[in-house]
Structure 1
Amino acid sequence: MPEREAIVGSTVILGAGQAAAQAIVSLRQEGYEGRIVLIGDEPFLPYQRPPLSKAFLAGELARDRLLLRPPEFYARAGVELMLGTPAVRIDREAKQVVLADGRRIDYQTLVLATGGRPRHLDCPGAEHPSVHYLRSIADAEALGEKLHAGARLAIIGGGYVGLEVAAVAVKKGLGVTLLEFAPRVLSRVACAEVAQFYEQVHRGAGVRILTGSGVAAIEALEGGVRVRTSDGSAIDADLVLVGIGQLPNVELAQAAGIVCDNGIVVDDEGRTSAPDIYAAGDCTSHFSAVYGYHLRLESVHNAVEQARSVAAAICGKSRPYRQVPWFWSDQYELKLQIAGVNRGYDQTVLRGDPQSRSFAVFYLQEGRLLAVDAINRTAEFVAAKPLIEGHARIAVDLLRDADVPLKGLMPLS
């Protein structure tokens, strides 16, 4: 049998997160023997971001344990590291990436893994030094240094990041007030039953939750700030965390003429509208074969699987990304596992008792299973994924019956 011909070229990866690390791993696994250059804004090797709002912020995980791969891996893989120097332009005609220090890096293939950034608060006083965001190691360390027992923390935004930080902070002995503009927490991502459950859990732990509260201004106080809400109320705090969503980093792609629409638009193999340029991870928008519309997903699973597809495509193979997305959140002793996307649901089905802190909620659209939120119910999370992928219709009474295993249920015809 003849030996496989080595795949040689020059691939530059712009961004140094989960998708970038996986792209490197997969390129070498696929037999790519060309030059690989990794360019990142931060001075760190690619690292995990989910623990930043959980174990790392709580002081339970050392910085070096955040790394996705040790330094030796990149040396063995022959990766050229250019960290701590942002890219400022993509020169498509010259096939070069221009760095902030003036260097020009040639590429044959370019992978955009630029991730996202926190959406910033837009109100008077939002730039006060006591206002924090959470996306990077530096962000987490700056916030963590101020999480002392007795301190007052105001969290703006009742999404997963805000709730996860609230759980860490209240366990550390801080007084925590969480403000959410919508009528309930998790309003964009979960149904009322799940939101109500988490509100009860957090209130029971000592978190003060104010829903329907917009932020009008942040005023400076000696040693802290005062958060003025849209209804005229005031919350005094020593520090503030803003968690109101994420924006995709698409500016370099847009400036280079690459099609973007709520993310860098890619196909199921990670190709952008520009020849020889791919993208993966939080910065992308892809057409979902499971749901039939474009999605921008902020998840480890999405970053990893898109990067695998991109690496295969660069190596002349076809491994399209067509999977059911999944996510997770850790708060207190609760493990929330989410399979699928619940956009457009018209019915929810509850399995189990929320009071037991172990239950699942299934999201249906015209009887078809779209997604599941499983709280301390891994079996339902695992079993739901193939049913979601198969557009299954399951009898509601069987979904509701906790004594009937979800695995093996036959879809309705």
Structure 2
Amino acid sequence: MSAATTELSPVAETPSGPAELPRDDALELKRLLVPDARVATIGAGCIGLEVAAAAAAKGRDVTVLEFQDRVMSRVTSEPVSRFFEQLHEQNGVRFVFGAAVTAVEGTDRAERIVTADGAVYPVDVVLAGIGVVPNQELAETAGLECQDGILVDGDGKTSDPHIYAAGDATRFTSNIDGASQRLECIQNAMAQAGRVAADKFSVVYVRDGRLAAVDTVAGLTDFRPAKKLIAQRARIDPFLAADSGTPLTDAVFAAS
């Protein structure tokens, strides 16, 4: 079961259905990016910007409509937002901030987008990247507490102490500002899964004093640096590497 379903604005509809392409239909999107196609993405998050960049690289006319006042406002700081905004603009992407989409109109396909201020944007292709709705039905059936996401603590434990959850469908309290949040990104899902896993260990292989390979079971803290250390043919202390309490990076003598 997927963790979340693409969220749709209740007013952003085409005559034939939602104002978006199915999430598994990237090939269809590629087919629609014909020469002279006018492309619009609703939302300036990671997905919206990625599609905008790809379409602009093909020479298409691209407009990004974003309700907030900058790109990726949920996930990064203003300086980083402005950097990516300028980078996209340099490559031909046009941004409209403060744009509240009220309708996507057309006869047999999307032909124009209408915003709350009365502006109309002619389009041929529309992609909505405005977040996801958590698939929490199974959790609700199991009697777990949910509030726009499955409520979990810092260890992934739900309201039932015998059930854990991880990924886009979970809601937790930020350890930075105490805010309740859902975080829709693979890094968070992997970090949560690592905390949920009860058994974590790594098997380190050393050949001629150098790190040769690493097998991990939920050992993300070893897996990430291991790839770099193996490529560097790092010399490693096998006794420190065998200590489960010692990070793999601390067992390295030198890389050569």
TM-score by length of 2: 0.68
Shift of 1:292: 4.9
- Equivalence map 1:53-92=2 (5 Å): none
CA distance in 2, matches of 1:310, 1:123: 38
Shift of 1:177: 1.0
Note if contact 1:130-1:239 (Cα within 8 Å) is conserved in structure 2: no
Match of 2:19 in 1: 131
- Equivalence map 1:39-54=2 (5 Å): none
Describe the superposition over 1:12-71 as per-residue Cα deviations: whole angstroms up to 9, x where unpaired: xxx3xxxxxxxxxxxxxxxxxxxxxxxxxxxxxxxxxxxxxxxxxxxxxxxxxxxxxxxx
Query: Is 2:117 the counterpart of 1:260?
Result: no
SS in 1 for 2:197: helix
RMSD: 3.0
Bigger Cα displacement from structure 2, 122-131 vs 161-170: 122-131
Shift of 1:282: 1.1
- Equivalence map 1:8-407=2 (5 Å): 15=1, 114-123=2-11, 125-126=13-14, 128-129=16-17, 131-133=19-21, 136=23, 138-221=24-107, 224-274=110-160, 276-289=162-175, 292=178, 294-312=180-198
CA distance in 2, matches of 1:170, 1:215: 22
Note if contact 2:44-2:129 (Cα within 8 Å) is conserved in structure 1: yes
CA distance in 1, matches of 2:32, 2:171: 36
Note if contact 1:156-1:241 (Cα within 8 Å) is conserved in structure 2: yes
- Which residue identity lines up with residue 123 of structure 1 in the other structure? V
SS in 2 for 1:216: strand
Note if contact 1:130-1:224 (Cα within 8 Å) is conserved in structure 2: no
TM-score by length of 1: 0.44
CA distance in 1, matches of 2:32, 2:175: 45
Note if contact 1:150-1:175 (Cα within 8 Å) is conserved in structure 2: yes
Shift of 1:245: 1.5
Shift of 1:171: 0.8
Match of 1:393 in 2: none
Describe the superposition over 1:255-311 as per-residue Cα deviations: whole angstroms up to 9, x where unpaired: 321012332122343332225422111111234556555442222222223223333
Q: Structure 1 213/268 Cα, relative in aligned 2: closer, same or farther at 3 Å?
A: closer
CA distance in 1, matches of 2:108, 2:140: 43
Structure 2 gap segments, 5+ residues each: 201-217, 222-256
- Which residue identity lines up with residue 218 of structure 1 in the other structure? V
Note if contact 1:130-1:240 (Cα within 8 Å) is conserved in structure 2: no
CA distance in 2, matches of 1:130, 1:250: 22
Shift of 1:127: 6.0
Q: Structure 1 226/278 Cα, relative in aligned 2: closer, same or farther at 3 Å?
A: same
Note if contact 2:14-2:109 (Cα within 8 Å) is conserved in structure 1: no
Note if contact 1:148-1:172 (Cα within 8 Å) is conserved in structure 2: no
CA distance in 1, matches of 2:113, 2:28: 20
CA distance in 1, matches of 2:99, 2:69: 8
State the identity %: 42
Q: Structure 1 191/290 Cα, relative in aligned 2: closer, same or farther at 3 Å?
A: closer
Match of 2:242 in 1: none
CA distance in 2, matches of 1:193, 1:219: 35
Shift of 1:130: 7.8
Alignment coverage as a number of residue pairs: 204
Note if contact 1:131-1:239 (Cα within 8 Å) is conserved in structure 2: no
Q: Structure 1 248/148 Cα, relative in aligned 2: closer, same or farther at 3 Å?
A: same
Describe the superposition over 1:209-234 as per-residue Cα deviations: whole angstroms up to 9, x where unpaired: 11122112121146542111212121
Note if contact 1:217-1:228 (Cα within 8 Å) is conserved in structure 2: yes
SS in 1 for 2:106: strand
SS in 1 for 2:25: helix
CA distance in 1, matches of 2:156, 2:169: 11
Q: Structure 1 313/260 Cα, relative in aligned 2: closer, same or farther at 3 Å?
A: farther
Bigger Cα displacement from structure 2, 250-259 vs 264-273: 264-273
Note if contact 1:154-1:237 (Cα within 8 Å) is conserved in structure 2: yes
CA distance in 2, matches of 1:125, 1:307: 36
